[in-house]
Amino acid sequence: EPEVTQTPSHQVTQMGQEVILRCVPISNHLYFYWYRQILGQKVEFLVSFYNNEISEKSEIFDDQFSVERPDGSNFTLKIRSTKLEDSAMYFCASSESPSVGEQYFGPGTRLTVT
Amino acid sequence: GESVGLHLPTLSVQEGDNSIINCAYSNSASDYFIWYKQESGKGPQFIIDIRSNMDKRQGQRVTVLLNKTVKHLSLQIAATQPGDSAVYFCAENWGPDKLIFGTGTRLQVFP
């Protein structure tokens, strides 16, 4: 069964450093998403991406965040200057269509900012 | 504002019993709802969905009920098994590109 993959599984970085979290969505999917989950809290929407541009973003997704699909398979989330409060699990998801059925989630990247 | 919440943070059931997990939502304009299961160390996994033009939808051992009058969603799991132990989230589709998740309910299944 096809699945969304994410690398790395765990990333430790110092405050102020840039990080790039990587995702490989399911190959025939066209819609891509990033979510985050602070430990013990609910999953929060960050951004959705379609046709090489952001289609929606939340108030969490400020200027420190950016997304990119650098090639035909990868989808990345960059945090330009990490803060302690960016520590969380970051989930990538993809779907065939935004209005029909489920988004498939990857296993997540645990980001720890020290 | 955006608000999808769960009534019970933890639900403990005995193996073989039925489980009912509840969710309240605030956006009366939402037309699509999803239940996700999240096991420890994994991403959310789709269980079942329902559109606002339906009251009930059944899957394999799971049923979702939607009460639009009181903006309430529930997930029923029949004959709960140890493998059902996880955190369950309801999610609400705010527009075509955005899912708003509830707080989550932890389901614990005892033998």
| Length reported for chain B | 111
DSSP A49-65: EETTEEEEE-TT--TTE
CB-closest option in B44, B49, B97 to A43 = B44
Test A43 with B95 for CB contact under 8 angstroms: no
Decide if B102 touches A, using CB distance below 8 A. yes
- Report the helix count and the strand count for chain B, using DSSP H and E: 0, 11
**Over residues A47-52, mean pLDDT:** 92
| Length reported for chain A | 114
pLDDT (0 to 100) of residue A99: 63
Q: Are strands A31-37 and A53-57 parallel, antiparallel or unpaired?
A: unpaired
Residue B83 φ/ψ, nearest 5 degrees: -70, -10
Task: Compute the distance between CA of residue A104 and CA of residue A33 in angstroms, rounded to an integer.
Answer: 10
Residue A85: pLDDT over 50: yes
User: Residues B48-106: pLDDT tens digits?
Assistant: 999 999 999 999 999 999 999 999 999 999 999 999 999 999 998 877 678 888 888 99
pLDDT band at A101 (very low <50, low <70, confident <90, very high): low
Structure tokens, A15: 């405050």
Structure tokens, A103: 């988004």
Decide if B103 touches A, using CB distance below 8 A. yes
Residue A108: pLDDT over 80: yes
Facing residues of A87 across strands?
none
pLDDT (0 to 100) of residue A100: 54
Contacts across the A-B interface (CB distance below 8 Å): 57
Chain A hits for B99, Cβ within 8 Å = 33, 35, 45, 103
Test A48 with B97 for CB contact under 8 angstroms: yes
User: Residues B9-24: pLDDT tens digits?
Assistant: 899 999 999 999 999 9
pLDDT (0 to 100) of residue B94: 78
